[in-house]
A and B are shown apart, each in its own frame.
Chain A
Amino acid sequence: MLLIRCPVCAMDRPELEFRHAGQAHVARPADPGAVDDAAWAAYLYLRDNPKGVVAERWRHVHGCGRFFNALRHTVSDRILATYPAGASRPEVAP
């Protein structure tokens, strides 16, 4: 079982308490009326799928209930860092 550090609870908590919530740092277009259909569809549906480190949203649903971001390596499944929602992505060595 993965142990994931919740930045709100400041504790390492078991994976069972968490829900994955998709890619992090997906910015909504500031003026949705000004973007064309392709750009809007890309915002809604297109997500990265890299082999390597990804930034993801997670929710501590059976704990404090709060969303936060995590850097996870998609090959090793190792969580490299967790940080509060709204913070910028930290630099970590994979």
Chain B
Amino acid sequence: MADLTPADPGPRHILRGPAGGAALGGLIVPDQPCRAAEAGPRAALWLGPDEWLLLGFAAVETPFAVVDVGHRSLGFRLAGPRAAELLAGGVPLDLSPAAFPVGTCTRTIFEKAEIVLWRRAEAAWHIEVARSFAPYLCDMIAAIAAANGIGGQER
């Protein structure tokens, strides 16, 4: 089973600059590659050595460059014991817990769409996708689920 549901439509920002290790809104900006830090409703996802995606920050107090990208992308949550199997139908990465442990995040591709993939728990994933690709992503996930007999609510 795997359920795809829209994530909270909270604020989204891109942080650029040498901010790794800095304290920001109750969490530490991760400086390890492909790691995410989460504190309550806020999260900072490493995208590049000077680039992070900030989720849930109403206002960002930092000397580094911050751009509001809330208009650009949508978030989805995919949860269920077969969620990794479903994602593996479109994501070319190794999604086993050993290769992609909890707390790992990365930009990657899902079929033809670029996504940000974040493993929040063993069987709970967060997917950020460009707004215009969201119908494509949902349709592809529904198709992969149907083809592999993975039930759930796809929206």
Indicate, yes or no, whether A interacts with B.
yes
B132 at the interface (CB under 8 A from A): no
Cross-chain contact A65 with B34 (CB below 8 angstroms): no
A42 at the interface (CB under 8 A from B): no
Q: What is the number of residues of chain B that contact chain A, defined by CB distance less than 8 Å?
A: 13
Interface of A is mostly: loop
Stretch among B4-12, B22-30, B103-111, B121-129 lining the A interface: B103-111
Q: A8-B33, A63-B106, A64-B33 are in contact. Are A13 and B47 (CB under 8 A)?
A: no
Residues of A within 8 A of B106 (CB): 9, 11, 63
Cross-chain contact A17 with B48 (CB below 8 angstroms): no
B positions within 8 Å CB-CB of A: 33-34, 47-49, 51, 92-93, 106-109, 114
A positions within 8 Å CB-CB of B: 1, 8-11, 13-14, 16-17, 62-66
Return the 6 tightest CB-CB contacts between A and B, nearest first. Answer: A14-B92, A64-B48, A9-B33, A62-B109, A65-B48, A16-B92
Extra 13 A-B pairs, beta carbons < 8 Å, given A8-B48, A62-B114, A65-B51: A9-B34, A9-B106, A11-B106, A14-B92, A16-B92, A16-B109, A17-B108, A63-B106, A64-B33, A64-B47, A64-B48, A65-B48, A65-B107
